[in-house]
Structure 1
Amino acid sequence: MSNTPEKFKRYYKFISFMLKYWNSDLFRQTSSIAINEGLPEDDEEHKFEQTPEELVEDLKQMGPTYIKLGQLLSTRPDLLPDEYLKALANLQDNVSPVPFEEVKEIIEKELGTKISKAFNLFDEKPIASASIGQVHRAELLSGKPVAVKVQRPGIQKKFIEDMDTLQEMTNLAVNHLEKAKTYALDEVFAELRRILINELDYKKEAQNLISLKRNLKDYEHLIIPAPVMDYSSTRVLTMEFVSGKKITSLSPLRQLENDFSELVEELVEAYLQQIINDGFAHADPHPGNIKFTQDNKIALIDLGMVARFTPQLQENLIELLLALSNSNGQRTAHILLKMSQTSEDSQKREFAKTVSDVIMESENSLAKDLQTGKILIQLNRLALTTHIKLPVEINILGKILLNLDQIVAMLDPEFNLRDAIKRNVTEIMRKKMLNELKPENFFSMLIESKNLVEHMPERMNRISEKLANDEFKIKIDAIDEKRVTDGFQKVANRITLGLIIASMIIGASMLMQVPSDFTIFGYPGLAIMFFLLAAAGGIFLSYVIVFRDENLNNKN
């Protein structure tokens, strides 16, 4: 634990920084844009008190944690003016390197051997230097070229101390400032802390590289460097060397000479695959983390920041992306509300109306307009101001799509990202459904159906007992008697159909044990026929529940 003078020094630095920028026009514009208020027209050409270079220098003086915050801000064109984004982008490149002697000491301590014994060649001058670590080019004893990422000495301790200071300040702000509560700064900071702590563990990044490389093995134009596990540790990461330039350095001539539409299509499909099928995605595809190779391939070189999506969330995101790609504002609002947490203060109608307006205004936007990711982040801000709590994954998805927008705009400015999402989501969803029809998933459904039938008598007994004792109560918000009656009829019909389907499955499973000359796929034929009939009934019932009920809801 740090001593008191050091803590006071950190507090002083933080408070001095906040006092300087809190009342500035730059902060006012950032806050206004974040909640979609905008600024007066005469402010468009306003020259802010603090120059972009001054902001960069202030962040450097604050230390590596704040440099990382600046890097995150450099990928947010929805919040800051262009000149500030460009200045903050330099934070990704222009951090002073650690002397080679310190690098050598870390590598030899982590790997347990001399550099000369581990590598044929090791360049003392780094090819990249960032706030957490720096990268050196090297060659293994086998002659294989590699990139070696080495963590800066003492960086973990520094990060944790700064995180503790920010945690205390965030808690103070949330307890005393209404705006801090509105923007849920404590939750934002908790997510930031989790991301940064994970980035400090290079073993986790090595596992992320392995997982992503496996998941995207079918995409021939995408490269994910494989880690060399024997030469990696918590503070040292050795991986395949990928030769190429940052995608931001793509020359206009090369853009004119090449048609990158196929490459862009593959990149978009790969990210959708990560989000809605794998549930594991590269969460920080900003241009600084993307290399463009000489043979027109894209390499994802930094996997310190990843996102994970649960199966239920993946299904919700499929619906959300389809609604966005179809410019269906009403449907988008409905899905977001379904995913969110609401309270008595939640302004659902205002949220739904504004969402519809935002989606309609952005219809037919192209990649050069940088709209798709920006819209999601804007909707997240809108949810906060209307007291609706969206899952943090929505903001992560918005950040992914926002960075993807920038890359797509560089390669093919006329590319329609929404049309691409519509095409690819439909295809990926089809593959996902086929994958879920595997035998292991089928028997999982059988077990669920068995549990349903086993517990049904007990539940029906409870209902009938409450009915007999006049204790059965139903809470209904609406007074439309016909609709309520129709609803009961639907429920009764579906329970009956569900019981029939479950009975067919149980009967079929029993028939599986009875020998029969009539077989299908090597199993007793009658049993398989019952399984198929039950599956058809289940699919039909699911279709009616998902699509017919949804149409009914939309009419109201």
Structure 2
Amino acid sequence: MPEWLLVAIVAAVFAVVATWIAQRALEARVGWLRGVVASLAVFFVFAPMGRWALIQADVIRDDRIVADQAVTVGFVLLIVAWMFAFVLIVLITLELMWPARPPIGPINAVRGALHRRRRAVRYARIVAIASRHGLGGMRGESVRSELPKALAATLDDAGVTFVKIGQILSTRSDLLPTEITGALSALQMDTTPIPWTEARTAIETQLHAPLTEVFARVDEVPLAAASVGQVHTAQLRDGTEVVLKIQRPKARAEVATDLDIIERVAGDLERRTSWGKDVGAASLAAQFAQALREELDYRIELGNMQMLHDATRAIDGAAVRIPTAYPELCTEQLIVMEHVRGVPFSKLPTAAGESLAPEDATRIADGVLDAVIEQIAVRGVFHADLHPGNLILGADGTVTLIDFGSVGIVEKSLRRLLVPFLVALQNEDDAGATDAVLMLVKTPAGREIDAAALQHDIGVILTRLRNSTAEQHLFAALIDVLRHHRLALPPGLLLVFRTLGSLEGSLKRLIPEYDMIKRALERAPHIAWRMNDPRSAALSAQVQLQLGAERLRELPRRADRIIRDLESGELSLRLRAFETPAERTWIESLTGRFTTTIIGATLVIAGIILGTADAGPLLTESVPAYPFIGSIVGLGGLLLLLRSLRTSLARREAASRSSS
């Protein structure tokens, strides 16, 4: 057999065996390709060195084995073991520098390639749309004059997701110039409609029937085109006037790709920029994605509409109303409800809006605000997307809410704290507001809060609000203060503040100088009185009395048990730290790794000392026993150190899997 063929066979066998052993020795992923390549590299680098070592040790002379057979086998096994140790070193180094990814099958590979292609095509399309509207070529003064219109046109053409982003930004006059928010407000309703042929096909697909079997008439020209769907007026066969909201056929696929892009970009921003980390870009993107995905399921919107309809009906003299839906005709992508006639707030001021007397406009704005605050604080269920396109002003002054894709729910325990917080703000009680905030927010574990500094910052905001006639953004300022103190609001409360911010922008369409914050704070004591009705207070007192009585009933038994344990000397003190199995396992693992590392380092040092000793019986003519034993001891120490690294890799991989 040719020598090169023998070497190739030995190398292949070594690579396969070394990779197989490494996969079981390392509790981290080791792919066959990576393992075989690393093993072959180690073999061809160290095999010549091993042969040279055998010659220097007088095991081989003139290409002949001259040492005793047992000694020869021992030297060869030692060299192979060291080569395997170097394979482990190479694989662990590669894992630390370039972690291996989980193996993917052909289906996942094709699916991933399609996702990447869709993202790339979508990126290119968005860039092309932005360039077509001139966003890339603006310079100097043209930026201020042309940017708002170009930005709105770009978001409109970019599709559902970006229209929704524009709608949210159009209500944030505290963050953006009025020129931009004014241009973006056109996105509230006036998006590009889909052709009637596509809309008709989509409606009939959802109904599983021709239009003529359900409706006497459906207008082909849409009444409005929103970000996710568009609305057509229609008439049922019994003559009832209704509207159909049909989802855009391509909305789901387009939104899925856009949200994938947004979440990836937000994650990169949070990892690479301090700004992204401060605002929690990934969390904001995840919340936006979840809200938009829910908005694509009209069954959720139907349930929200019915829930708000019942909650609003329970409010005496409510100035807003919820339209009636027809659940038997509603599906995942189609909603049929009563035809709401009027002017959207996004179209104000119009001829109808300008004809309103100031006192009537104020009455309408106050009524809408009172109803929303009542929804939030008393009922705990509220419309959470109150941009101007979702408020319809009727001819009789009634305001109807539409588009229920986003509805907020505030539990009673949170509402009980929210109302005193608003009352404290209205009374400029910075101490009371601070106490309420500390009960509302989530305090980071293990960190002390500077309550005095927090109270000072809140007091500054309230003092400015009381003594300034300039436009104030109270809730935005409070959120900034909490972010400065690294305090996180509960998601429900954050949604309340965002909703009130959107409502403020909508009411200013009716009355540009409307002071929503002042009105809301003035109504806070009334809402507090409504929440603390005698029946509710009596029931809460009854619950607390019953729970207190049960606790008192348990006290004698617990006291007797403590006394018996004291008398018998069996009273024990349990520490909560490290009491769970997971915590104990972590401590045991940490102790084991520390011990293994110490022993491994000790063996390596002992091996070096023995390896440099020229003593002991001769195994060959030039190699004493002590250096040979030192090589074995050092190899054992090295393997123990590699075991510690292996455990670290396993823990890192487990953490990576749990986070993903």
Whole-Å Cα distance in 1 between the matches of residues 307 and 467 of structure 2?
Answer: 35
Which residue of the partner structure matches residue 260 of structure 1?
361
> Residue 336 of structure 1: CA displacement?
1.9
SS at match of 1:136: strand
Which residue of the partner structure matches residue 430 of structure 2?
329
Which residue of the partner structure matches residue 7 of structure 1?
119
Task: Within 5 Å, give how 1:132-281 maps onto structure 2.
Answer: 132-217=228-313, 218-219=316-317, 221-247=319-345, 248-251=348-351, 253-256=354-357, 259-281=360-382
The answer as to whether partners of 1:370 and 1:409 remain within 8 angstroms in 2 is: no
Which residue of the partner structure matches residue 76 of structure 2?
none
The answer as to whether partners of 2:426 and 2:522 remain within 8 angstroms in 1 is: no
Which residue of the partner structure matches residue 73 of structure 2?
none
Which residue of the partner structure matches residue 384 of structure 2?
283
The answer as to whether partners of 2:166 and 2:187 remain within 8 angstroms in 1 is: yes
The answer as to whether partners of 1:463 and 1:472 remain within 8 angstroms in 2 is: no
Post-superposition CA distance 1:216-275 (Å, at most 9, x none): 123353221111111111100011111101232344642337533433332222111111
> Residue 212 of structure 1: CA displacement?
1.3
Whole-Å Cα distance in 1 between the matches of residues 142 and 462 of structure 2?
Answer: 29
Task: Within 5 Å, give how 1:53-64 maps onto structure 2.
Answer: 53-64=149-160
Task: Within 5 Å, give how 1:107-146 maps onto structure 2.
Answer: 107-146=203-242
- Name the CA shift for 1:101/1:284 in 2 (closer, same or farther; >3 Å): same
Equivalent of residue 421 in structure 1, options 501, 520, 527: 520
- Name the CA shift for 1:302/1:435 in 2 (closer, same or farther; >3 Å): farther
Whole-Å Cα distance in 2 between the matches of residues 91 and 414 of structure 1?
Answer: 23
The answer as to whether partners of 1:76 and 1:85 remain within 8 angstroms in 2 is: yes
Deviates more, 1:342-351 or 1:117-126: 342-351
- Name the CA shift for 1:176/1:146 in 2 (closer, same or farther; >3 Å): same
SS at match of 1:3: helix
SS at match of 1:291: strand
Of all paired residues, the percent bearing the same amino acid is 25
Letter in 1 for 2:260: D
Which residue of the partner structure matches residue 391 of structure 1?
490
Whole-Å Cα distance in 2 between the matches of residues 414 and 74 of structure 1?
Answer: 18
Whole-Å Cα distance in 2 between the matches of residues 14 and 336 of structure 1?
Answer: 42
Whole-Å Cα distance in 2 between the matches of residues 350 and 169 of structure 1?
Answer: 35
Task: Within 5 Å, give how 1:466-481 maps onto structure 2.
Answer: none
The answer as to whether partners of 2:474 and 2:517 remain within 8 angstroms in 1 is: no
C-alpha root-mean-square deviation of aligned residues, in Å?
A: 3.5
Whole-Å Cα distance in 2 between the matches of residues 467 and 363 of structure 1?
Answer: 61
Deviates more, 1:292-301 or 1:409-418: 409-418
SS at match of 2:532: helix
Which residue of the partner structure matches residue 517 of structure 1?
none
SS at match of 2:355: helix
The answer as to whether partners of 1:223 and 1:297 remain within 8 angstroms in 2 is: yes
- Name the CA shift for 1:60/1:292 in 2 (closer, same or farther; >3 Å): closer
Structure 2 spans left out of the alignment, 5+ residues? 1-110, 575-660
- Name the CA shift for 1:173/1:115 in 2 (closer, same or farther; >3 Å): same
> Residue 78 of structure 1: CA displacement?
0.5
- Name the CA shift for 1:408/1:117 in 2 (closer, same or farther; >3 Å): same
SS at match of 2:382: strand
The answer as to whether partners of 1:167 and 1:189 remain within 8 angstroms in 2 is: yes
> Residue 404 of structure 1: CA displacement?
2.6
Equivalent of residue 375 in structure 1, options 464, 471, 474: 474
> Residue 416 of structure 1: CA displacement?
5.2
Which residue of the partner structure matches residue 434 of structure 1?
533
SS at match of 1:259: helix
Q: Which entry has the higher C-alpha Rg, 1 or 2?
A: 2
Whole-Å Cα distance in 2 between the matches of residues 382 and 14 of structure 1?
Answer: 36
> Residue 49 of structure 1: CA displacement?
8.7
Which residue of the partner structure matches residue 361 of structure 1?
464
The answer as to whether partners of 1:135 and 1:150 remain within 8 angstroms in 2 is: yes
Aligned residues: 449
1:97 matched to 2:197? The reply is no
Post-superposition CA distance 1:67-93 (Å, at most 9, x none): 210111011111111111111111223
> Residue 194 of structure 1: CA displacement?
1.8
Which residue of the partner structure matches residue 37 of structure 2?
none
SS at match of 2:487: coil
Whole-Å Cα distance in 2 between the matches of residues 86 and 172 of structure 1?
Answer: 30
Whole-Å Cα distance in 2 between the matches of residues 336 and 439 of structure 1?
Answer: 27
The answer as to whether partners of 2:242 and 2:338 remain within 8 angstroms in 1 is: yes
Which residue of the partner structure matches residue 68 of structure 1?
164
- Name the CA shift for 1:60/1:286 in 2 (closer, same or farther; >3 Å): closer
TM-score, with structure 2 as normaliser: 0.61
1:319 matched to 2:415? The reply is no
Whole-Å Cα distance in 2 between the matches of residues 336 and 15 of structure 1?
Answer: 43
SS at match of 1:125: coil
Letter in 2 for 1:161: T
SS at match of 1:80: coil
Post-superposition CA distance 1:179-215 (Å, at most 9, x none): 2111111221222112111111111111211121221
SS at match of 2:356: helix
Whole-Å Cα distance in 1 between the matches of residues 402 and 409 of structure 2?
Answer: 19
Whole-Å Cα distance in 1 between the matches of residues 130 and 480 of structure 2?
Answer: 22
Which residue of the partner structure matches residue 485 of structure 1?
none
The answer as to whether partners of 1:273 and 1:428 remain within 8 angstroms in 2 is: yes
The answer as to whether partners of 1:376 and 1:395 remain within 8 angstroms in 2 is: no
Deviates more, 1:163-172 or 1:143-152: 163-172
Letter in 1 for 2:338: E
SS at match of 1:57: helix
Post-superposition CA distance 1:93-137 (Å, at most 9, x none): 332211111111111121121111111110011010112000000
SS at match of 1:109: helix
Deviates more, 1:187-196 or 1:404-413: 404-413
1:77 matched to 2:176? The reply is no
Letter in 2 for 1:426: P
TM-score, with structure 1 as normaliser: 0.72
> Residue 150 of structure 1: CA displacement?
0.3
Whole-Å Cα distance in 2 between the matches of residues 338 and 310 of structure 1?
Answer: 15
Whole-Å Cα distance in 2 between the matches of residues 254 and 463 of structure 1?
Answer: 78
Deviates more, 1:404-413 or 1:163-172: 404-413
Structure 1 spans left out of the alignment, 5+ residues? 27-42, 474-556
Letter in 1 for 2:205: K
The answer as to whether partners of 2:173 and 2:505 remain within 8 angstroms in 1 is: no
Whole-Å Cα distance in 1 between the matches of residues 417 and 500 of structure 2?
Answer: 16
SS at match of 1:363: helix
Post-superposition CA distance 1:124-166 (Å, at most 9, x none): 1101011200000001111111111000002112212221222
The answer to which structure, 1 or 2, has the higher relative contact order (CA under 8 A, 6+ apart) is 2
Whole-Å Cα distance in 1 between the matches of residues 128 and 481 of structure 2?
Answer: 30
The answer as to whether partners of 1:328 and 1:360 remain within 8 angstroms in 2 is: no
